């Protein structure tokens, strides 16, 4: 008995002593960045020292319209190069792209009911539209409101008529960008489709959420096999409804005079600037369109995007941030009437076999940021979803949309993950493509907030991809 106790006691003692040893704690690696802190640094820098609003003033009030293949666009190119160099970007270059030379010239629309007198209506020719050769084109107006009405018309049935399409944006669709795109894709407002009815001109209701007499521009696309390229134009929403009401009572004649003409092509460059990566040459891309329509300042479309892209680079330089990957900005040419700028850039990337790991577009007007649209693999989307809590304090919560903007969209063919800054769009289409797209429509604080979250997203991609 004693012998067994003697045997057991040392074993008990050793077990007791062993149990008193503290387990070794594994220390988690300290992350290189406290993202909440870094997000705050970015926000403080931009809210305190941000230059985006001043830059927007320079490009809108100082330069004005920046339509492709015009002196205004050439001035914008020079201005952008100087701005990049001013903030310390050493790598800046121009990338030649082609653009059509289209001149709007004089334009007018008049209508006359029965035995009444001619009444002038504000109008805008479609971009790249054929004109009337500066001569009056006169014809009876025929109203079409639905695709059903259009489909019931046989070829040649509307010979020598002027078709008027009064198709409003659907107010029930809360996301105004969705409403716009649905309407813009309707064959009711296709010049090529309408020309096949025998009509000799097309008038449409402006694609806008505003209700006034301000016309909004639209781009025309003629099909290669079109036998006739008919003149096309838009009128304000109030004028459109008044014209429809008049047509329901009596015959109405229109007189259109457009001296619009095309004069071939010319070189119209993209402007590119970048901060080389410290770790590798993989590229994080920021994109916006440098051009605007020929009649307005192009503030929300897309002076705000240009100013925000420049602000991202300025902020990274000001904070002394050492980026792992190359951060590049492309200010695209000819976005409004052709898109050759974005196509030539995508071709360049493919030819050079450059590795783009992310592309972020901004072309929504500089309004309050609400999120990011993510057009990429589910795996990449899930990773960005995990960052939501970092963005929430800045009003950004929407990561569910999947559309990317036009200018970066050609990169999708190269398997580049795409994203777009999502903003509150409720006012955007009030001014979009109209003379009312001016500097005073942009709120400084909202513009800066968009710059902040774009910079924050660039930081997250650079640190984690």
- Indicate the pLDDT class of residue 156, thresholds 50, 70 and 90: confident
**Quick one: average pLDDT of 231-237?**
97
Closest C-alpha among 338, 438, 437 to residue 102: 338
Q: End-to-end CA distance of the chain: give it in Å, rounded.
A: 69
- Indicate the pLDDT class of residue 31, thresholds 50, 70 and 90: low
Q: Which CATH number fits domain 35-101+265-464: 3.30.70.100, 3.40.640.10, 3.40.190.10, 3.40.630.10?
A: 3.40.630.10
How far apart CA 163 and CA 145 sit, in angstroms, is 10
Residue 308 pLDDT > 60, yes or no? yes
Q: Are 252 and 246 in contact (CB under 8 A)?
A: yes
Q: Are 456 and 464 in contact (CB under 8 A)?
A: no
Residue 304 pLDDT > 80, yes or no? yes
Query: How many CB atoms within 10 Å of residue 81?
Result: 19
- The per-residue pLDDT of the chain, averaged, comes to 92
Q: Does domain 105-259 have CATH number 3.50.30.30?
A: yes
pLDDT value of position 109: 98
pLDDT value of position 5: 40
How far apart CA 251 and CA 441 sit, in angstroms, is 40
**Quick one: average pLDDT of 52-61?**
98
Residue 23 pLDDT > 80, yes or no? no
Closest C-alpha among 97, 57, 78, 73 to residue 303: 57
- Indicate the pLDDT class of residue 82, thresholds 50, 70 and 90: very high
pLDDT digits (tens, 9 = 90+) for 337-393: 899 999 999 999 999 999 999 999 999 999 999 999 999 999 999 999 999 999 999
pLDDT value of position 11: 41
Closest C-alpha among 62, 82, 105, 127 to residue 297: 62
Indicate the domain borders of the chain. Answer: 35-101+265-464, 105-259
**Quick one: average pLDDT of 262-285?**
96
Residue whose token pair is 């030539």: 344
267: exposed, middle or buried (Cβ count in 10 Å: 0-12, 13-18, 19+): exposed
3-state secondary structure 166-190: CCCCCCCCCCHHHHHHHHHCCHHHC
Closest C-alpha among 310, 303, 290, 342 to residue 74: 290
Q: Are 416 and 342 in contact (CB under 8 A)?
A: no
Residue 26 pLDDT > 70, yes or no? no
- Indicate the pLDDT class of residue 406, thresholds 50, 70 and 90: confident
Phi, then psi, of 140 in degrees rounded to 5: -75, 140
pLDDT value of position 147: 87
How far apart CA 287 and CA 339 sit, in angstroms, is 13
Starting at the edge strand found earlier in the chain, the sheet holding 418-423 runs 91-95, 270-275, 326-332, 283-289, 356-361, 418-423, 369-375
Closest C-alpha among 272, 253, 149 to residue 203: 253
How far apart CA 149 and CA 187 sit, in angstroms, is 12
Q: Are 138 and 254 in contact (CB under 8 A)?
A: yes
Share of the chain above pLDDT 70, in %: 93
pLDDT value of position 152: 87
148: exposed, middle or buried (Cβ count in 10 Å: 0-12, 13-18, 19+): exposed
Task: Dihedral sign for Cα 140, 141, 147, 149, please.
Answer: negative
Q: What is the pTM of this model?
A: 0.90
pLDDT digits (tens, 9 = 90+) for 186-224: 989 999 999 999 999 999 999 999 999 999 999 998 998
């Amino acid at each position: 008995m004693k012998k067994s106790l003697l045997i057991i006691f040392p074993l008990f003692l050793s077990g007791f002593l062993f149990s008193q040893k503290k387990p070794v704690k594994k220390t988690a690696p300290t992350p290189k960045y406290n993202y909440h802190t870094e997000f705050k640094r970015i926000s403080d820098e931009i809210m305190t020292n941000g230059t985006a609003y001043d830059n927007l003033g320079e490009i809108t009030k100082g330069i004005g319209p920046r339509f492709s293949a015009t002196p205004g666009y050439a001035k914008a190119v020079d201005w952008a190069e100087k701005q990049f160099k001013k903030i310390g970007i050493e790598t800046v270059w121009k990338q030649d792209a082609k653009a059509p030379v289209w001149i709007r010239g004089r334009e007018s629309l008049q209508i006359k009911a029965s035995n009444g007198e001619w009444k002038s209506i504000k109008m805008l020719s479609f971009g790249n539209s054929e004109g009337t050769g500066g001569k009056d084109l006169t014809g009876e107006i025929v109203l079409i409101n639905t695709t059903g009405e259009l489909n019931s018309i046989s070829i040649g049935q509307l010979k020598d008529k002027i078709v008027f399409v009064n198709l409003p944006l659907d107010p029930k669709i809360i996301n105004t960008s969705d409403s716009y795109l649905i309407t813009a894709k309707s064959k009711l407002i296709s010049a090529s489709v309408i020309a096949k009815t025998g009509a000799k001109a097309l008038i449409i209701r402006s694609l806008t959420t505003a209700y006034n007499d301000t016309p909004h521009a639209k781009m025309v696309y003629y099909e290669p096999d079109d036998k006739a390229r008919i003149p096309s134009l838009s009128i304000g929403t109030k004028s459109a409804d008044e014209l429809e009401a008049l047509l329901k009572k009596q015959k109405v004649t229109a007189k259109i005079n457009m001296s619009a003409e095309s004069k071939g092509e010319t070189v119209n460059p993209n402007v590119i600037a970048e901060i080389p990566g410290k770790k590798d040459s993989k590229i994080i891309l920021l994109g916006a369109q440098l051009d605007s329509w020929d009649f307005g300042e192009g503030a929300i479309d897309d002076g705000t995007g240009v100013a925000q892209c420049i602000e991202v680079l300025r902020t990274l330089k000001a904070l002394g941030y050492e980026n792992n990957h190359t951060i590049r900005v492309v200010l695209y040419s000819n976005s409004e009437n052709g898109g050759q700028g974005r196509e030539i850039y995508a071709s360049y990337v493919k030819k050079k076999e450059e590795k783009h790991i992310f592309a972020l577009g901004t072309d929504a007007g500089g309004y309050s940021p609400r999120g990011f649209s993510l057009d990429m693999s589910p795996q990449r989307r899930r990773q960005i979803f995990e960052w939501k809590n970092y963005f929430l304090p800045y009003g950004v919560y929407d990561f569910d949309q999947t559309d990317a903007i036009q200018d970066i969209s050609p990169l999708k063919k190269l398997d580049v993950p795409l994203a777009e800054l999502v903003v509150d769009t409720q006012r955007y289409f009030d001014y979009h493509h109209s003379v009312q797209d001016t500097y005073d429509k942009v709120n400084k604080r909202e513009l800066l907030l968009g710059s902040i979250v774009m910079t924050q997203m660039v930081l997250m991609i650079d640190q984690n991809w």
